């Protein structure tokens, strides 16, 4: 039974490539919009707090509260507040996407060797320059690792929005009656592929960043 | 998404004729509803949710521990076992729940199997990393003191891996509490039950949504804090550094 299900799933992918691509594009649009906004919010805040060596409890708190937030509930809040639609889901995903990026960015910058920062200050760099030219480049691998965690989480959670008419691949996954179990699994394969692809790209960026930072001596 | 009402234990939507002003306006949080339905809706859901989590985390830990021992002892198997847990973790939860229904039906077992399979990823990684992180000099001196391989494992490697393992328990517990709410789209069980029920009303029933989600968040935070305390108590040496 499992074997035939496997065959059916790939059959479905072959027969409905058009539909799956279109739904995957919707999921990607939702997930990447939310991811972009969450980075825009989390990155500057994490950089600033890390640079000032302030807000340790805030950073730790955001990460543990962030993990504790049940995604269904957050998406539910979005809908209860704004009604079903692109923006209610986007806002919910932004909330869920912020914690990993914020926490990692904070610890990336906070953890930069203080002697290096002092040396930069001694060389006459202004605080924004220190942040942009010393702390951010040194912490970049860890920042990108955080963005990667956020990305995978947001993409996976974007499908839950499908349970409430959020569009995208989640629509197929939440509608076994119409698409069959093979359709549900086919959509799941597409979600995993999208998540793995995104994680792979961000992983490469992370490796490139840490390679560049490796001592050349 | 139909049939929740039957399973939910009586009508949940307030009687609009007799409800308070708060309920009539579908306010975000009406304490009187929470008081009235604590016993028949919220408390049972909370207890079920705790059961789901405790069982999933314990079983998942047991399975992952055995897998991690195998992956640690036989290095060649580490990569494939790690990849296997990665793969399980990458399956979107909505799809996994539906796939498992084929084998175990619309039962709590289905929910548990899915939850267990998601914990393996965190547990496996943390246990292996923890065991691996023991410095070579420490192992060297253990050998120098005449400890056998088995003794080295139980008396040196495993105790030193405890902080990493406990960190894994925290992450796995909190994420299990969160994922368990998703399961209720299939089966009215745990705190996801009232959450989905509130969301399936024509006008989302806000008080029920806020109360049940709030309980899920509080449960996760409480579990995280308790485990953090356990972590401190069990690894007194880590406070020295």
pLDDT band at A214 (very low <50, low <70, confident <90, very high): low
Quick check: B189 and B52 in contact, CB under 8 A?
yes
Confirm or reject contact between A35 and chain B (CB < 8 A): no
Residue B8: the pLDDT is 44
User: Which has the closest alpha carbon to B74: B136, B155, B131?
Assistant: B131
pLDDT digits (tens, 9 = 90+) for A131-141: 988 999 899 98
What is the structure's pLDDT at A34? 95
Buried b (16+ CB within 10 A) or exposed e, B113-146: bbbbbbbbbbbbbbbbebbeebeeeeeeebeeee
State the average pLDDT over residues A55-72.
84
For residue A5, give both structure tokens: 């299900």
What's the domain count of chain B?
1
Q: What is the pLDDT of residues B126-148, one digit of tens each?
A: 999 899 888 889 999 999 999 99
Distance from CA of B129 to the nearest CA of A (A): 18
B94 in any annotated domain: yes
Q: What would the two tokens of residue B224 be?
A: 């995280």
pLDDT at B91: 87
Q: Is residue B9 part of a domain?
A: no
Q: Please name the member of A67, A173, A196 whose beta carbon is closest to the beta carbon of B174.
A: A67
Is A181 in Cβ contact with B102 (below 8 Å)?
A: yes
Can you give the pLDDT at residue B62?
97
Residue B5: the pLDDT is 41
Residue of B nearest to A156 (CA): B92
Region label for A83, one of left (φ > 0), alpha (ψ between -120 and 50) or beta (otherwise): left
Predicted pLDDT of residue B2: 39
Structure confidence at residue A213 as a pLDDT band (50, 70, 90): low
Residue A4 at interface with chain B, using a CB cutoff of 8 Å:
no
By Cβ distance, the residue of B95, B198, B217 closest to A70 is B217
Average pLDDT (A164-185) is 89
Of B150, B152, B209, the C-alpha closest to B184 is B209
* Mean pLDDT of the region A69-92: 85
Q: Over chain A, what is the mean pLDDT?
A: 88
CA A201 to chain centre: 12
- Check if A159 contacts B (Cβ < 8 Å): yes
B129 inside domain:
yes
B62 inside domain: yes
Q: Give 3-state DSSP helix, strand, coil % of chain B, rounded to 5.
A: 80, 0, 20
Query: How far apart, in whole angstroms, are the C-alpha atoms of residue A187 and residue B174?
Result: 27
Query: Is residue B178 one of the residues assigned to a domain?
Result: yes
Residues 6+ positions from B35 with CB-CB distance below 8 Å = none
pTM: 0.85
Q: Which residues of chain B have pLDDT under 70?
A: 1-19, 238-241
Q: Which residues, including other chains, have CB under 8 Å from residue B150's CB and lie 6 or more apart?
A: none
Mutate to test the interface with B, among A73, A177, A195 (most CBs of B within 10 A): A73
Mean pLDDT of A85-98: 90
A5, B102: Cβ pair inside 8 Å? yes
Domains identified in chain A and CATH numbers: 2-213 (1.10.3720.10)
* Mean pLDDT, residues A100-113 taken together: 91
Cβ of residue A125 closer than 8 Å to a chain B Cβ: no
Q: Which residue has the tokens 């569009």?
A: A167
> Which position has the higher pLDDT, B53 or A142?
B53
HSE, side-chain direction, 13 A CA sphere, residue B163: 10
Residue bearing tokens 């972590």:
B231
pLDDT higher than threshold 90 for residue A67: no
Question: From chain B, which residues contact A within 8 Å (Cβ)?
Answer: 1, 90-96, 98-99, 102, 171, 174-175, 177-178, 181-182, 184-185, 191-192, 195-196, 198-199, 204, 206, 209-210, 212-213, 216-217, 220-221, 224
Question: Is B162 a domain residue?
Answer: yes
Q: Which of B1, B90, B224 sits opposite A196 (nearest CB)?
A: B90
Distances B183 to B8, B98, B180 between C-alpha atoms, Å: 15, 10, 5
pLDDT exceeds cutoff 90 at A189: yes
Spatial contact of B172 and B57, defined as CB atoms under 8 Å apart: yes
User: Is A73's CB within 8 Å of B181's CB?
Assistant: yes
For the domain that residue B169 is a member of, what is the CATH number?
A: 1.10.3720.10
> Is there a domain that residue B3 lies in?
no
Interface check for A170 against chain B (CB to CB < 8 A): the answer is yes
CA atoms within 13 A on the CB side of B218: 8
Domain assignment present for residue B24? The answer is no
CA B188 from chain center: how many Å?
17
Secondary structure string (H, E, C) spanning chain A? CHHHHHHHHHHHHHHCHHHHHHHHHHHHHHHHHHHHHHHHHHHHHHHHHHHHCCCHHHHHHHHHHHHHCCHHHHHHHHHHHHCCCHHHHHHHHHHHHHHHHHHHHHHHHHCCCHHHHHHHHHCCCCHHHHHHHHHHHHHHHHHHHHHHHHHHHHHHHHCHHHHHCCCCHHHHHCCHHHHHHHHHHHHHHHHHHHHHHHHHHHHHHHHHHHHHHCCCC
Q: Give the residue numbers spanning the domain of B55.
A: 37-239
**In what helix (H) or strand (E) does residue B2 lie, and over which residues does it extend?**
none
pLDDT attached to residue A209: 82
Looking at residue B38, its pLDDT comes to 86
CA distance, residue B99 to nearest chain A CA (Å): 7
- Interchain CB contact of A213 with B (< 8 Å): no
User: How far from chain centre, in Å, is Cα B142?
Assistant: 36
Nearest to B178 among A71, A77, A170 (CB): A71
């Amino acid at each position: 039974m499992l074997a035939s299900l496997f065959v059916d799933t790939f059959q479905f992918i072959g027969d409905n490539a058009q539909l799956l691509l279109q739904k995957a594009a919707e999921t990607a649009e939702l997930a990447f919009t939310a991811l972009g906004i969450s980075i825009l919010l989390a990155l500057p805040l994490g950089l600033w707090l890390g640079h000032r060596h302030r807000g340790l409890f805030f950073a730790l708190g955001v990460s543990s509260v962030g993990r504790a937030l049940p995604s269904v509930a957050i998406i539910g809040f979005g809908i209860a507040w704004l009604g079903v639609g692109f923006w209610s889901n986007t806002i919910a995903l932004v909330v869920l996407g912020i914690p990993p990026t914020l926490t990692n960015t904070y610890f990336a910058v906070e953890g930069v060797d203080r002697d290096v920062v002092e040396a930069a200050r001694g060389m006459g760099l202004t605080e924004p320059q220190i942040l942009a030219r010393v702390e951010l480049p040194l912490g970049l691998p860890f920042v990108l690792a955080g963005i990667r965690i956020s990305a995978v989480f947001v993409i996976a959670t974007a499908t839950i929005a499908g349970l409430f008419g959020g569009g995208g691949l989640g629509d197929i996954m939440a509608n076994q009656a119409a698409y069959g179990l093979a359709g549900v699994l086919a959509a799941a394969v597409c979600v995993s592929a999208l998540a793995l692809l995104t994680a792979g790209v961000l992983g490469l960026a992370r490796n490139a960043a840490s390679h560049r930072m490796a001592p050349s001596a | 998404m139909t049939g929740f009402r039957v399973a939910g234990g009586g009508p949940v939507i307030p009687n609009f004729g007799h409800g308070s002003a708060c309920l009539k306006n579908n306010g975000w949080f009406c304490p009187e509803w929470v008081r009235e339905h604590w016993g028949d809706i919220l408390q049972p859901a909370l207890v079920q949710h705790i059961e789901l989590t405790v069982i999933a985390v314990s079983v998942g830990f047991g399975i992952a521990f055995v897998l991690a021992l195998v992956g640690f002892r036989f290095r060649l198997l580490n990569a494939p076992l790690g990849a296997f847990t990665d793969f399980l973790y990458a399956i979107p939860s909505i799809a996994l729940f539906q796939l498992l229904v084929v084998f175990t039906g619309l039962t709590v077992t289905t929910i548990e199997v899915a939850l267990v399979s998601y914990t393996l990823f965190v547990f496996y990684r943390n246990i292996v990393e923890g065991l691996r992180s023991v410095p070579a000099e420490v192992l060297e001196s253990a050998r120098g003191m005449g400890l056998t391989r088995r003794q080295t494992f139980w008396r040196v490697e495993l105790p030193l891996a405890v902080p990493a393992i406990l960190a894994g328990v925290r992450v796995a517990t909190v994420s299990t509490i969160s994922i368990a709410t998703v399961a209720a789209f299939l089966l009215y069980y745990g705190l996801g039950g009232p959450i989905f029920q509130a969301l399936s009303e024509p006008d989302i029933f806000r008080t029920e949504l806020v109360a049940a989600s709030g309980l899920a968040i509080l449960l996760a935070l409480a579990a995280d804090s308790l485990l953090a305390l356990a972590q401190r108590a069990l690894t007194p040496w880590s406070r020295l550094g």
